[in-house]
């Protein structure tokens, strides 16, 4: 997730760009940059690191132009460095461009452009778009910038919001979008573009929200919106009534709620572009089979803390089931003190949203000392774990502001499921066609999560019942057990309601003594091979009078159990189900926390990143 902003008008562009970027920094802070039309050419200033590094760049003082674009980056392709920072220019510096999103066919386009003699200056998918537009304009000197953008957009697979300026049209900014947000607005003699409303809210409250495959030409106060074929379309105009703080949360009350609702989009980013349509193979570019010897590992350890540990548990089920490799999972703080048996044939998967959790870093370092191979699964590009690991798989969840993990958890599961399927593919424990079928099923997850988020009335009603509860239990079997664990952790950390999770069959071995009429018990009973057994465990609870809340697929026969509440979620493979099922439990925790008056984004005693052991 990155932030883009553009200005064209009668004022100096730089202050508007910097102000807009400051409002978008929550979308990424690996690097920042601006490109401004000087009248004679395009000047670009880029800096690695937070926006402050760009703001203090002396070169900015010389940029007096009135048309420009700006970007704040959350690295996906290519590490954070000045060369990979946006804006990117084409080889002839005809155009400059900023981008948010992921271009899935960038390899193919890069190869094509390189074959035509284009030389690249960065590792990014974005530069491919800049070079493509520049190349089209070089081939046809009469081609207008907007036409070149439309032609290029037709060649792109994936997600993009773009803002582009051209040397030969000093007052024009062209924007385009597909599956990444882009808004436009005007203020006096100026026109503005941005990834998100807060970036332009100081200038205007009347915004145009672009739809997929629309292109906008902004020339001062004139905005023309077209479809991808150049036909003028009616712009979708909205008047914004929120204040700035609310706008930064996208109209949601808290960052956590916003991040919960971002899940369909970020899951699509994590899962997308992994199937090679020519070969039908699952591609994880990040893992080069020969180099990392992953074909021959005979044991896997997963090390992680907190929520990441829970996604790691799903990975254990997935790798053992599909790739048939034994997997142990450790809370990272325990790992190196228990003298685990590992060697050069061992794969250690370190899972961490931040990539900076001290215990997980230490566990990975310990594994490397013992010659094991380490793969990091993290959300933060160039984090310590990412740098030190032998290979990295990034979740593409974008920055997570709320202390409680939500979107990064479901993206971790998606990334780990992909890793498990990839291991199965390279080790031959699944046919490629089986892998492709499963990845296809994964592609439905974003829509399934969106369906859950579309109707939360049952969850909200249940939260009202839980408001004054003292304890709650969460049950699940197989891959639904990590879902239960994560549901209970979410409830504890943001609502301060005591919640425990157990494998469904375990409750009768002790904790059942705590169940009475006042205790809510959530059971995850979505489709699985132990579905009938899970329902028997629910019946044991029902017989003791607990409040029965079920997470279930539509049409489920509960075998005589009369639940107090059912949260219906779409059906998927049981190893993907934690992605869909967890969302409803995140929302339950959220509503209980708000009903209890808790500060959801900043729970007491907790920090987003735990850098001490």
Q: What is the Cα–Cα distance from 250 to 271, expressed in whole angstroms?
A: 24
Q: Which is nearer to ligand M6R, 100 or 395 (CB)?
A: 395
DSSP 8-state assignment for residue 49: S
- Residue bearing tokens 């004139």: 222
Query: Min. distance of Cβ 309 from ligand M6R in angstroms?
Result: 8
Query: Min. distance of Cβ 305 from ligand M6R in angstroms?
Result: 4
The burial of 561, by beta-carbon neighbours within 10 Å (0-12 exposed, 13-18 middle, 19 or more buried), is given as middle
Query: Min. distance of Cβ 489 from ligand M6R in angstroms?
Result: 6
Q: What is the Cα–Cα distance from 31 to 176, expressed in whole angstroms?
A: 22
- Residue bearing tokens 């899970």: 534
Q: Is the dihedral of CA 247, 252, 257, 259 positive or negative?
A: negative
Rg over CA atoms, the chain:
25
In terms of DSSP H, where are the helices of 242-371? Answer: 244-248, 255-261, 263-271, 289-292, 306-318, 332-335, 358-369
Q: What is the Cα–Cα distance from 300 to 425, expressed in whole angstroms?
A: 16
Q: Which is nearer to ligand M6R, 111 or 606 (CB)?
A: 606
Tokens of 162: 């773009």
Q: Is 224 helix (H, G, I), strand (E, B) or coil?
A: strand
Q: Which is nearer to ligand M6R, 204 or 354 (CB)?
A: 354
Q: Which is nearer to ligand M6R, 465 or 610 (CB)?
A: 610
Q: Which is nearer to ligand M6R, 152 or 391 (CB)?
A: 391
Q: What is the Cα–Cα distance from 84 to 46, expressed in whole angstroms?
A: 9
Query: Min. distance of Cβ 404 from ligand M6R in angstroms?
Result: 4
- Residue bearing tokens 């952790």: 489
Q: What is the Cα–Cα distance from 482 to 147, expressed in whole angstroms?
A: 50
Closest CB to ligand M6R: residue number: 306
Query: Min. distance of Cβ 350 from ligand M6R in angstroms?
Result: 9
Query: Min. distance of Cβ 494 from ligand M6R in angstroms?
Result: 8
DSSP 8-state assignment for residue 146: H
Q: Which is nearer to ligand M6R, 186 or 384 (CB)?
A: 384
Q: What is the Cα–Cα distance from 337 to 363, expressed in whole angstroms?
A: 9
End-to-end CA distance of the chain: 30
Tokens of 177: 């979008």
Beta bridge partners of 100: 161
Residue 407's φ and ψ, nearest 5 degrees, are: -65, -30
Q: Which strand ranges, in their side-by-side order, compose the sheet holding 520-524?
A: 498-503, 471-476, 520-524, 547-552, 565-568
Q: Which is nearer to ligand M6R, 34 or 499 (CB)?
A: 499
Q: Which is nearer to ligand M6R, 174 or 397 (CB)?
A: 397
DSSP 8-state assignment for residue 159: -
DSSP labels, 264-278:
HHHHHHHHTT-B-TT
For residue 547, the tally of other CB atoms under 10 A from its CB is 23
The residue among 45, 52, 53, 46 whose CA lies nearest residue 78 is 46
Name residues whose C-beta falls within 8 Å of residue 110's C-beta, 6 or more positions apart in sequence.
120, 128, 131
178 neighbors 212 (Cβ within 8 angstroms): yes
In terms of DSSP H, where are the helices of 370-454? Answer: 384-388, 407-427, 432-443, 445-454
Name residues whose C-beta falls within 8 Å of residue 412's C-beta, 6 or more positions apart in sequence.
307, 308, 311, 351, 353, 377, 379, 395
DSSP labels, 485-521:
HHHHHHHHHHH--EEEEEEGGGGGGTGGGG--TT-EE
Q: Which is nearer to ligand M6R, 368 or 609 (CB)?
A: 609
DSSP 8-state assignment for residue 119: P
Q: Which is nearer to ligand M6R, 391 or 404 (CB)?
A: 404
Query: Min. distance of Cβ 581 from ligand M6R in angstroms?
Result: 17
Q: Which residues are catalytic?
A: 2, 608
In terms of DSSP H, where are the helices of 25-124? Answer: 51-55, 106-115
Q: Which is nearer to ligand M6R, 98 or 367 (CB)?
A: 367
The site for ligand M6R (CB under 6 A) is made up of: 305-308, 352-354, 357, 360, 403-405, 493, 606, 609-610
Query: Min. distance of Cβ 418 from ligand M6R in angstroms?
Result: 18
């Amino acid at each position: 997730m990155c932030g883009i902003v553009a200005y064209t008008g009668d004022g100096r562009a730089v202050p508007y760009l910097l102000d807009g970027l400051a409002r978008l920094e929550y979308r990424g802070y690996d690097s920042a940059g601006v490109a401004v039309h000087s009248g004679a050419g395009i000047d670009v200033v880029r800096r690695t690191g937070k926006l402050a590094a760009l703001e203090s760049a002396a070169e900015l003082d010389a940029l007096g132009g009135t048309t420009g674009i700006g970007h704040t980056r959350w690295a996906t392709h290519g590490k954070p460095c000045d060369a990979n920072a946006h804006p990117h220019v084409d080889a002839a510096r005809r155009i400059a461009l900023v981008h948010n999103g992921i271009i899935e066919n960038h390899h193919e386009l890069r190869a094509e452009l390189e074959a035509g003699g284009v030389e690249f200056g960065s590792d990014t998918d974005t530069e491919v778009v800049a070079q493509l537009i520049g190349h089209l304009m070089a081939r046809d000197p009469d081609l207008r910038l907007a036409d070149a953008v439309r032609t290029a957009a037709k060649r792109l697979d994936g997600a993009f919001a773009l803002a582009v300026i051209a040397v030969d049209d000093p007052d024009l900014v062209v924007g385009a979008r597909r599956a990444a947000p882009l808004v436009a607005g005007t203020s006096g003699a100026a026109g503005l573009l941005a990834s998100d409303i807060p970036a332009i809210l100081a200038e205007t409250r009347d915004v145009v929200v672009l739809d997929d495959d629309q292109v906008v030409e902004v020339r001062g106060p004139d905005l023309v919106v077209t479809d991808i074929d150049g036909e003028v379309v009616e712009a979708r105009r909205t008047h914004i009534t929120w204040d700035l703080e609310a706008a930064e949360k996208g109209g949601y009350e808290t960052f956590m709620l916003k991040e919960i609702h971002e899940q369909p989009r970020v899951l699509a980013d994590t899962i997308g572009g992994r199937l090679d349509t020519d070969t039908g193979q699952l591609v994880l570019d990040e893992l080069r089979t020969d180099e990392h010897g992953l074909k021959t590992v005979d044991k896997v350890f997963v090390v992680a803390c907190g929520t990441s540990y829970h996604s790691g548990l799903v990975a254990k089920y997935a790798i053992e089931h599909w790739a048939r490799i034994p997997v142990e999972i450790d809370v990272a703080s325990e790992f190196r003190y228990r003298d685990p048996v590992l060697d050069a044939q061992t794969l250690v998967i370190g899972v961490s949203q931040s990539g900076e959790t001290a215990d997980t870093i230490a566990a990975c370092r310990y594994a490397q000392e013992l010659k094991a191979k380490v793969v990091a699964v993290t959300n933060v590009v160039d984090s310590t774990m990412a740098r030190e690991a032998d290979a990295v798989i990034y979740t593409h969840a974008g920055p997570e502001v709320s202390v409680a993990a939500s979107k990064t958890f479901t993206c971790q599961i998606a990334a780990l499921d992909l890793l498990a399927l990839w291991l199965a593919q390279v080790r031959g424990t699944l046919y490629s066609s089986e892998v492709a079928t499963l990845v296809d099923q994964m592609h439905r997850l974003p829509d399934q999560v969106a369906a859950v988020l579309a109707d939360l009335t049952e969850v909200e009603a249940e939260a009202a019942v839980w408001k004054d509860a003292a304890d709650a239990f969460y049950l699940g079997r197989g891959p639904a057990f990590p879902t239960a664990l994560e549901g209970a952790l979410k409830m504890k950390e943001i609502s301060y309601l005591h919640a425990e999770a157990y494998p469904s069959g375990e409750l009768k071995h002790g904790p059942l003594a705590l169940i009475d009429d006042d205790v809510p018990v959530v059971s995850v009973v979505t489709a699985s091979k132990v579905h009938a057994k899970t329902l028997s465990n629910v019946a044991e609870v029902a017989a003791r009078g607990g409040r029965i809340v079920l997470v279930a697929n539509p049409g489920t026969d509960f075998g005589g159990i009369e639940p107090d509440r059912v949260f219906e979620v779409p059906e998927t493979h049981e190893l993907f189900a934690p992605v869909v099922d967890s969302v409803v439990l995140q929302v339950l925790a959220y509503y209980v926390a708000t009903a209890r008056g808790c500060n959801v984004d900043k729970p007491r005693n907790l920090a987003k990143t735990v850098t001490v052991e």
